[in-house]
Amino acid sequence: MPEIREGGVNVTPLIDIVMCLIIFFMLVAKIGVDTGADRNIDIPTSILGTDIKDMGNTLVLNVVNGPSGVPDPQPIVTALVKGQMQELKLRDFYNGKTQDQLLNTLKLFREGDPTLKMAANPDFKVVIRGDKSLSFRFLAPVLMDCNLAHVKSFAFDTKQPA
């Protein structure tokens, strides 16, 4: 009988398994990315339309009706900006001046900002998630700001009928 020597453990199969796990987690890591869509908004149904396959390079705007009973109501617009959900006002009074936070944010995403290390993005897209009870008087200023920011492509988020 040959003499049995105790040698080292063969780690080659272990390395193969670890590499397969790394590749697996790299592929499925895109699933948990937050697009900024407000799941509390009841979006309208539509039988027409196409699925957006690539949600990269897009900003999702959640739009609901503004408060009633005020002299100049604004729509309530929220979006995921710099990793946080923020409300973007159309008319915000700051230091005696009126600012349009939505327009400024859209321009920032499209034109970029070197101080924030954001490159210009002429192919920037907007997805509007409007509540199904949203009236046009609250949607129109959002569309106007998209036009003023020179957004080339925007879409409305809808769901398939049951």
The CATH number given to whatever domain includes residue 98 is 3.30.420.270
Count up the domains in the chain and report the number: 1
Any domain includes 20: no
Any domain includes 28: no
Any domain includes 133: yes
Any domain includes 135: yes
Using alpha carbons only, what angle is made at residue 36 by residues 47 and 39, rounded to the nearest 5 degrees? Answer: 55
Q: What are the strands, taking DSSP E only, across the chain?
A: 58-64, 76-81, 84-87, 92-94, 97-99, 125-130, 153-156
Any domain includes 14: no
Any domain includes 21: no
Please give the pLDDT value at position 85: 86
pTM of the model: 0.70
Question: For 99-111, what is each residue's pLDDT tens digit?
Answer: 888 888 888 888 8
Any domain includes 29: no
Full domain range(s) for residue 143: 34-156
Question: For 10-22, what is each residue's pLDDT tens digit?
Answer: 778 889 999 999 9
Does 95 have pLDDT greater than 70?
no
Is the Cα dihedral 59, 64, 67, 71 positive or negative?
positive
Any domain includes 150: yes
